[in-house]
Amino acid sequence: MSDPIASIGQSKLPALGRTGNAAPDHAPAPQTARKADQVDLSVRAQLLNKLSQMPDVRQNLIDQVKVQIEAGVYETPEKIDAVLEELMQDLA
């Protein structure tokens, strides 16, 4: 008489796996070409990115203006006209 406890776990089903020329059960699926991820940024986002990379103060410009003011050459008729033109456009 056979031992019923010894036969636990022994299956009468055929074992799975390689049989003949069949592919193994764990064979990877064929690779398909995947489309690359893409990010589109709005114009506003691009400008904000550029702005965030700029220094808070353009010290070189400030230094140039200080030197021009001290030398008395900062205020020119061209600069005054440009400022007046911008002011007129803002008020219109």
Question: Does the reported pTM lie above 0.85?
Answer: no
Burial class (CB in 10 A: 0-12, 13-18, 19+), 68: middle
Report domain extents, the chain. Answer: 43-91
- Output the pLDDT for position 32: 78
- Output the pLDDT for position 35: 86
Give pLDDT tens digits along the chain (92 positions).
Answer: 555 555 555 556 555 555 555 555 666 667 778 888 888 889 999 999 998 998 888 889 999 999 999 999 999 999 999 999 999 999 98
